[in-house]
Structure 1
Amino acid sequence: MTARPDSLTTTRSGAKDEWWRSAVIYQVYPRSFADADGDGTGDLAGITARLDHVARLGVDAVWLSPFYPSPQRDGGYDVADYRDVDPRFGTLSDADDLIRTAHDLGLRIIVDLVPNHCSSDHADFQAALAAAPGSPERARFHFRDGRGDDGVAPPNDWTSMFEGPAWTRVVEPDGRPGQWYLHLFDSSQPDWNWDEPSVRADFEQTLRFWLDRGVDGFRVDVCDAIIKAPGLPDWPHRTKGVVEPVDGVMPPMWDQDGIHEVFTSWRSVLDEYEGERILCAEAWLAPERAARIVRPGEMHQAFNFRYLEQLWDAGDLRRTIDESLAANDAVGAPTTWVLSNHDVMRHASRYGYDGPVELESGVGVDDPQPDRTLGLRRARAATTLMLALPGSAYLYQGEELGLPEVTDLPDAARQDPVWERSGRTIRGRDGCRVPLPWTAEGPSFGFGSSESTWLPQPAYFGEFSVEAQEADEGSTLALYRRLLALRREHRLGAGDLGWEPSSDGVLVIRRPGVRVIANVTASSVALPDGRVLVASGPLEPGVLPADTTVWLEVVE
């Protein structure tokens, strides 16, 4: 167990510090952050060695994507053991060192919890395969007899989020075709059956295991899918992106009422521990549905994917900001804001397109390419707007460097399971997961000592490296540091938001001590007088260029 410094547990008055209401949290994807042992794959020791970079940014916490034992068929979200570290990433001792170092730097640590499904390599699923239909071992998963003659058809019509059917038939121990098991994602990721008390008890043990080691919370993967509708009824509709009701009915695999009982029990576990340990929900739900998850006594935060999905359009942005704040204010919870993560096209690239893009489908070298210059300009403006909003914000590793989506990955290098499951028609999420560049030159641009990395880096990555940007006051890295320092100075994570009148395509927001003006148009507009605190791009006197956001000082 690691020690927790007092500064991370209580305020000076002794009251609990609800840090999560205004925190900026930085996501680390362990395979792609930093490689300490030179095997081309990131690891925990590499993260620990580079945590000073994260601390210097000015964030409050680090969220680690899964580092658990896994066959890595879905980037670690196929967990084979929830209470250990994959040897590729290190050891439990390395995890303890990382948590301790983070706390020494004033950073909290949030780890991934993956409760909807596990790896087919998990000991419990292997036991279920070896057991008979109707056994306690199979009851921990969704095993069902098939439909039709000899059960040759799946039990229902559900489809996988990774394309294809959501059911796979097993071969029974006697060699005959047998039952089917449910997997909302890859066939190597069987869904747990949360109607089974033993599953609930086991996950509470996992929570305690990591809380005892000093983690500050959990980002809960696909949390809205853990409870399925009774009887697993057919659902002939597709669910991609934010999930909403169809004819007033929620899909039977998403956002069922039973999830709230589970979340309440988890919250009670976390509340037993010293300090403010948190739960953040990954639920692709509309703001009013997501707000139900963060009611008092349930989770602390829920990702705001409606905001992530928005086009670079002033009207849509304002509408989503208002709806998000209203939905969460109604239940006394903070709103979160996010623009990029390990599952979607980096916003420095998707803003390089005019019009909607498929967030998780990826881009290949033969596909229409984003305008990299336009995308980065808009991305910097979007981040400058986002970090002025009240609530909590999430950043994805590399966005502080302005990293674009890698759109020229060789198809032979792709590892996202959707690539094969879609018949090689959907390239998937690998383009946002390419290992980070730390130096302008050298093996793997400073990612590690190996010349090659688990996903190949493009030749241009060195120009986006930390080293290349350190001395450049106009770099994206410098912008992020400035924004985060000002956000903290002006306490912009708390307080109210007010809109001021503006021309079409321009957003003007009043925050404590700051006036935020975002020009979401293709033309320059007049810039009011005032001392500029920070701007997302170069300014000329009295002019706010297209796709630029500025913070002006307001003397209260």
Structure 2
Amino acid sequence: MTSTQPTGLAPASTTTTLVHRALEQSPEQAEWWRDAVIYQVYPRSFADADGDGVGDLPGITARLDHLARLGVDAVWLSPFYRSPQKDAGYDVADYRDVDPLFGTLEDFDALLERAHRLGLRVIVDLVPNHTSSEHVWFRAALAAAPGSPERARYHFRDGRGPDGSLPPNGWTSVFGGSAWTRTTDADGTPGQWYLHLFDPSQPDLDWSNPEVREEFERVLRFWLDRGVDGFRVDVAHGMVKAPGLPDWDGTSSMIEGAHQGELGSEDGATGAGTAGPMWDQEGVHDIYRAWHRVLAEYEGDRALVAEAWVEPLARLARYVRPDEMQQAFNFAFLTTLWDADALRSVVTESLEASDAVGAPTTWVLSNHDVVRHASRLGLAVPGSRPNGIRAEDPQPDAEAGLRRARAATLLMLALPGSSYLYQGEELGLPEHTTLDDDERQDPAWWRSGHTEAGRDGCRVPLPWSADEPGLGFSPTGRTWLSQPDSFRALALDQQRDVPGSTYETYRTALRLRREFALGTGSLAWVDGLARTPGTEVVALVNREVLVVTVVGDGSAALPEGEVLHASGPLETDEHGRVVVPADTTAWVRPAT
């Protein structure tokens, strides 16, 4: 520890407020997903085995030892299905096959077998709101007549106006522009319109059609029979639309889409745009009850994970009622600004909402759809959420961002419930904020008229080895997106076994989280720690561990005890007390 003295520490007079009781289960009863730490792999950017510059399944398999050594419990794979890749695989053409870009079904089976041998469970992405426009169903629909069974699988409608030249309603796409595209009939004349809440290459399925529901239950069984441990459900709150597709003049928006701006919240609101007849309709819950029954037929506590941008938190908790899904990403936590009161509020409200339905809270700070939290927390308003960052935009403070990101992660990993990590955050990777616009591939970039940078900056291939071409991502050095210069010093081989590196900080946190059973623990807020005037502190007790996060400037003194871990260097004062400095989290076991 360094010996920098904080000034004016107020005396301690601590009190605690219990907000969540520990979940006590025997190992035989424990459901793995209640406290699991799950690592998201974005396949095209994790590791490339064949040298084409795009990550693949064999590349993932070859690097699974990294995840086992890191100490996570499971892996979530973003889509690897057969796809024209108009939206990085979220436009699925065949739900039962692997795209040649990523390998083969045999490669998937090998990955699954290796992961299970290492003690890692595997969750795969499922994209049920829409298919690719190249899916056999949609191609059949285009070839069929209006009113046909083929078109009934999707939302085809006649246009408005005397010649049908106006869209059926005013809904907008998450990626910008209209949510409707008009077809052309075989004779070259304009035809009906079809709905796509995302890109035109992603037509929305009509989930009021029993054939759609039956097909996806078959898809679930196909992957469950192969041995997967669960499914992350894309756009879980969007599959059912209000009957009749009523007109609405609002703006459709999710985290992927345009119109987000500098969002962030002091009260945990996501700004997700859940209002409107296309989001969070009651009928989605019938689907998940049916899927729950399918998964219950299989051994091993298989799990469903909701990507549901809904609010308030009590409404999100409806997705994880006992007969529905097992987890739902807590996007209210992800979007909360770096503010002590806001963080306490969102954690309290989250635990109260999930406790009410007997479910775990599922914490997350980064994923493939948002600016990495090491950069978001370095912005002028720490934790604000732009839709990508370009070279001409205000740039994050990299040092402050990483310091806060490490502190936020140690706070998150100390909370009861499950947690998700996004690939590369264990290396402290920032957003690629200077990516050349000519490289951008996100449909949001194109459909927004180049006004939204989109998500490419958080999807850049990982750095494994500082001195290898492509930083060890590919044997040829090729990378489908360029890597920023900052990635070299953050490569895995520069951090492994280096005390205090971000990688080793994550490894230690994951080991201690498991050792102290924090994921199934309790939470009580602690008030009254000694601190410098004006210091914002988030302090809690989970089982034997006191967790103290100093948010922003100032410092706080720890009580006597064993310091277990910290996100950065701690300090001591003239009385020999251990002090947590600005933007730092410490875990301590207080003396009894």
TM-score by length of 2: 0.90
1:3 matched to which residue of 2? none
**Which residue of 412, 415, 436 corresponds with 2:462?**
436
Amino acid at match of 2:180: W
Amino acid at match of 1:305: F
| Pairs aligned (count) | 543
1:48 matched to which residue of 2? 61
**Which residue of 542, 552, 558 corresponds with 1:527?**
558
User: In the aligned structure 1, how far is the partner of 2:165 from the partner of 2:251?
Assistant: 23
User: In the aligned structure 1, how far is the partner of 2:467 from the partner of 2:28?
Assistant: 48
1:127-526 aligned within 5 A: 127-240=140-253, 241=255, 250-286=275-311, 287-355=313-381, 359=385, 361-502=387-528, 505-526=536-557
> Match of 2:518, SS?
coil
User: In the aligned structure 2, how far is the partner of 1:403 from the partner of 1:396?
Assistant: 10
User: In the aligned structure 1, how far is the partner of 2:359 from the partner of 2:492?
Assistant: 35
CA contact (8 A) 1:513 1:555 kept: no
> 1:496, CA displacement in angstroms?
1.5
CA contact (8 A) 2:235 2:308 kept: yes
CA contact (8 A) 2:375 2:431 kept: yes
CA contact (8 A) 2:272 2:309 kept: no
State whether structure 2 residue 88 is matched by structure 1 residue 75. Answer: yes
Aligned residues with identical type, % of pairs? 64
CA contact (8 A) 1:515 1:554 kept: yes
1:544 matched to which residue of 2? 580
> 1:356, CA displacement in angstroms?
6.3
Higher deviation after alignment, 229-238 or 127-136: 229-238
User: In the aligned structure 2, how far is the partner of 1:356 from the partner of 1:169?
Assistant: 42
CA contact (8 A) 1:343 1:360 kept: no
User: In the aligned structure 1, how far is the partner of 2:448 from the partner of 2:383?
Assistant: 18
Q: CA RMSD in A?
A: 1.7
CA contact (8 A) 1:360 1:429 kept: no
> 1:13, CA displacement in angstroms?
8.6
- Change in CA separation of 1:138 and 1:360 when aligned onto 2, cut-off 3 Å: farther
Amino acid at match of 1:276: D
Higher deviation after alignment, 109-118 or 494-503: 494-503
User: In the aligned structure 1, how far is the partner of 2:81 from the partner of 2:544?
Assistant: 44
1:42-121 aligned within 5 A: 42-121=55-134
CA contact (8 A) 1:115 1:221 kept: yes
Higher deviation after alignment, 348-357 or 45-54: 348-357
> 1:354, CA displacement in angstroms?
2.6
CA contact (8 A) 2:171 2:252 kept: no
> Match of 1:96, SS?
helix
Amino acid at match of 2:331: F
> 1:17, CA displacement in angstroms?
3.6
- Change in CA separation of 1:218 and 1:230 when aligned onto 2, cut-off 3 Å: same
> 1:357, CA displacement in angstroms?
6.5
TM-score by length of 1: 0.95
CA contact (8 A) 2:571 2:579 kept: yes
- Change in CA separation of 1:307 and 1:167 when aligned onto 2, cut-off 3 Å: same
User: In the aligned structure 2, how far is the partner of 1:479 from the partner of 1:544?
Assistant: 16
> 1:244, CA displacement in angstroms?
7.5
Cα deviation 1:196-217 (Å, max 9, x = unaligned): 0000000000000000000000
Amino acid at match of 1:268: R
CA contact (8 A) 1:245 1:251 kept: no
Larger RCO: Structure 1 or Structure 2 (Cα < 8 Å, ≥ 6 residues apart)? Answer: 2
Higher deviation after alignment, 382-391 or 452-461: 452-461
User: In the aligned structure 2, how far is the partner of 1:499 from the partner of 1:525?
Assistant: 15
CA contact (8 A) 1:244 1:250 kept: no
Gaps of 5+ in 1: 1-11
User: In the aligned structure 2, how far is the partner of 1:318 from the partner of 1:239?
Assistant: 30
Amino acid at match of 2:461: P
1:18 matched to which residue of 2? 31
Amino acid at match of 1:198: E
> 1:15, CA displacement in angstroms?
4.7
User: In the aligned structure 2, how far is the partner of 1:153 from the partner of 1:211?
Assistant: 43
CA contact (8 A) 1:16 1:275 kept: no
User: In the aligned structure 1, how far is the partner of 2:565 from the partner of 2:26?
Assistant: 34
> 1:220, CA displacement in angstroms?
0.3
Runs of 4+ in 1 over 3 A off after TM superposition: 12-17, 239-246, 356-360
> Match of 2:421, SS?
strand
User: In the aligned structure 1, how far is the partner of 2:536 from the partner of 2:224?
Assistant: 46
CA contact (8 A) 1:216 1:277 kept: yes
> 1:529, CA displacement in angstroms?
2.6
